Amino acid sequence: MSITPDPQRQAEIFADDRTYVFHSWSAQKPLKPMVIAGAEGSYVWDFDGNRLLDFSSQLVNVNIGHQHPKVVAAIQEQAALLATVAPQHANEARNQAARRIVELAGPNMAKVFFTNGGADAVENAIRMARLHTNKHKVLSFYRSYHGNTGASIAATGDPRRWPNEYSAQHVHFFGPFLYRSEFWATSEQEECERALQHLEHVIQFEGPGTVGAIILESVVGTAGVMAPPPGYLEGVRALCDRYGIVWIADEVMAGFGRTGEWFAFQNWGAQPDLIVFAKGSNSGYVPVGGVVISAEIAATFDERVFPGGLTYSGHPLAAASIVASIDAMKEEGIVENAKRIGQDVLGPGLRALAEKHPVIGEVRGLGVFWALDLVSDRATKEPLAPYGGTSEAMTALVGACKSRGLLPFTNFNRMHVVPPCTITEDEARAGLAVLDDAFAEIDRYYTG
């Protein structure tokens, strides 16, 4: 993995970006994007020769690592065979991808509707649920992110929803989160019981005859990597059965090995009705997403037209990359590696950092899906940055990581530790050592 610095090219690409490219989620003028020249495995680098360990997996999607040769080869082979085809035609790559996903997703799952990404997967899952139940309200967590299209951003709980609320009949509620409990709970069991009671009350007060779907990230991702307490998903399943509601499991970020299981909900004992996926299914090598549909909901559309479709649904390059990704993950034990790294390296290592650095208020996660809740005072749990914003301390933390060769993922007052599922033990320990040094730089912001 040799890197030949080329500062002139670095400057040219940066200048063209600032001249021609409009970036997402940003005011444009102050942006100074990192120029990525190449990537391999767990690393990315720029044209200046700076090589960084990718503890972000970009947008928590490069589960199989950068430039996995089997996936790259599959895309190249498919491009030579059939580069594109309209979705109304059958094609082998799409069939193979759908079969593999259905077989992984659970005994009640039957078919896959392919989309271009996670947001439109959520969009179509909500459409299916509303048509199947003939009920239109959609319930979702305040602490959530489901995408940036009409219904998906309305289902989102975080502040990106606020300027984008155009889709109707979305209702938010509080999910379980013991560290910052809304329910005055003192144990995981209390948090679970009270959160389920709260959800049932929301259903009752909204009117069970109006609620068509509950959409939940199986493990909440961008909003804080919050795994549900034991019994919570089983309780949601029971409520959905009681009131005739479709449970949509959003596995866009948590699926395909991220939590040490193929799907995050498989860490517990409940099965959803619809599963939305994207990111990890092919590590973003080609844009793709989809909805895994239960046999019961699929049957709704046996004789009834489903009013949805996309030009690139089941695109053969994307489908081929999914097939290659799933096969490589099975052959190379990548899901198992994610679980082992979480149990043996990241979990213990992050908890050791929390003992050493007072700004780390809580460590939570599983697999290669972790978050550090950062605080200025452990007693009051005062966040190190405000909700919906950042702070001098968080800016300093990011700078300290990058200057030491680590590409971090931060959101508000949290550091997310989300490397590829292929990360080695040595790479994980090297990343933890960088975090140790970076937190030493910002411990001065602790006031408790």
Residue 406 sits in a domain of what CATH number? Answer: 3.90.1150.10
> Residue 151: its pLDDT value, please?
97
Residue 114 lies in a domain: yes
Residue 2 lies in a domain: no
Residues 292 and 373 in one domain: no
DSSP type of residue 208: G
Domain end marker among 331, 362, 380: 331
Distance of CA 180 to the CA centre of its chain: 21
Residues 98 and 184 in one domain: yes
Residues 120 and 225 in one domain: yes
Residue 107 lies in a domain: yes
> Residue 390: its pLDDT value, please?
95
Q: How many residues in the chain?
A: 448
- Residues of 409-448 as b/e, b for ≥16 C-beta within 10 angstroms? bbbbbbbbbbbbbbbeeebbebbbebbeebbebbeebbee
Residues 178 and 296 in one domain: yes
The residue segments making up the domain with residue 99 are 69-331
Q: Residue 157 and residue 84: Cα distance in Å, rounded?
A: 36
**Could you tell me the pTM of the whole model?**
0.97
Taking a C-beta distance cutoff of 8 angstroms, is the pair 413, 343 a contact? no
Its sign, for the CA torsion 6, 61, 65, 94, is negative
**pLDDT, one tens digit for every residue, the chain (448 residues):** 667 899 999 999 999 999 999 999 999 999 999 999 999 999 999 999 999 999 999 999 999 999 999 999 999 999 999 999 999 999 999 999 999 999 999 999 999 999 999 999 999 999 999 999 999 999 999 999 999 999 999 999 999 999 999 999 999 999 999 999 999 999 999 999 999 999 999 999 999 999 999 999 999 999 999 999 999 999 999 999 999 999 999 999 999 999 999 999 999 999 999 999 999 999 999 999 999 999 999 999 999 999 999 999 999 999 999 999 999 999 999 999 999 999 999 999 999 999 999 999 999 999 999 999 999 999 999 999 999 999 999 999 999 999 999 999 999 999 999 999 999 999 999 999 999 999 999 999 999 9
Residues 156 and 201 in one domain: yes
Q: Which residues contact 300 (CB under 8 A, 6 or more apart)?
A: 128, 131, 132
> Residue 3: its pLDDT value, please?
78
Q: Residue 200 and residue 181: Cα distance in Å, rounded?
A: 17
Residue 1 lies in a domain: no
Residues 30 and 58 in one domain: yes
Q: Residue 78 and residue 89: Cα distance in Å, rounded?
A: 16
Domain end marker among 280, 304, 331: 331
Residue 12 lies in a domain: yes
Q: Per the structure block, which two tokens stand in for 427? A: 């790479």
Residues 350 and 323 in one domain: no
Q: Residue 288 and residue 313: Cα distance in Å, rounded?
A: 8
Residue 277 lies in a domain: yes
DSSP for 225-236 reads -BPPPTTHHHHH
Residue 188 lies in a domain: yes
Burial class (CB in 10 A: 0-12, 13-18, 19+), 140: buried
Residues 195 and 80 in one domain: yes
Residues 306 and 351 in one domain: no
> Residue 1: its pLDDT value, please?
62
Q: Is 116 helix (H, G, I), strand (E, B) or coil?
A: coil
DSSP for 392-436 reads HHHHHHHHHHHHTTEE-EEETTEEEE---TT--HHHHHHHHHHHH
Q: Residue 61 and residue 283: Cα distance in Å, rounded?
A: 5
Taking a C-beta distance cutoff of 8 angstroms, is the pair 323, 317 a contact? no
Q: Per the structure block, which two tokens stand in for 444? A: 């001065």
Domain end marker among 298, 315, 331: 331
Residue 203 sits in a domain of what CATH number? Answer: 3.40.640.10
Residues 155 and 289 in one domain: yes
Residues 311 and 420 in one domain: no
Residue 158 lies in a domain: yes
Q: What residues are paired with 117 via a beta bridge?
A: none
Taking a C-beta distance cutoff of 8 angstroms, is the pair 240, 253 a contact? no
Q: Per the structure block, which two tokens stand in for 365? A: 């996660």
> Residue 77: its pLDDT value, please?
98
Number of domains in the chain: 2
Taking a C-beta distance cutoff of 8 angstroms, is the pair 315, 54 a contact? no
SS3 labels along 122-151 = HHHHHHHHHHHHCCCEEEEECCCCCCCCHH
Its sign, for the CA torsion 116, 117, 119, 124, is positive
Q: What residues are paired with 417 via a beta bridge?
A: 370
Distances (CA, A) of 375 to 219, 235, 391, 446: 22, 31, 12, 7
Residues 81 and 174 in one domain: yes
Angle (nearest 5°) at CA 380 between 156 and 141 = 15
> Residue 83: its pLDDT value, please?
98
